[in-house]
Amino acid sequence: MTTADKGLAVIERLASDDLCERLSWGAAQGRPTRLSDEEIKTLGNKLSLIYRIAHSLNADASCAYVHANWRKEIDELYQKYKEGE
């Protein structure tokens, strides 16, 4: 499995938990979802991680070559999620 495939798997895992499902369902029905401060922080962390995954795998990004540590994080998260299944 390539690092890009692992990145997509991690993003899917991040976006398919109960919190994201609740937000998605609310958006689909046109109803706002109230969030606690902790949920807002969690979502911010998820968005930051999704950005790091996408940016580090985008070969067209001018600085993608310097983000080996972010690609390593993808492999580590993929393993963590895979072991948790």
pLDDT digit string, tens, across residues 2-14: 989 999 999 999 9
What is the per-residue pLDDT for 62? Answer: 61
CA 59 to chain centre: 18
d(CA 70, CA 72): 5
Cα dihedral sign for 14, 9, 78, 3?
negative
Percent of the residues in the chain that have a pLDDT greater than 70, as a whole number: 94
pTM: predicted TM-score of the whole model, two decimal places: 0.78
Number of domains in the chain: 1
Identify the domain containing residue 26 by its residue range: 3-83
d(CA 83, CA 58): 27
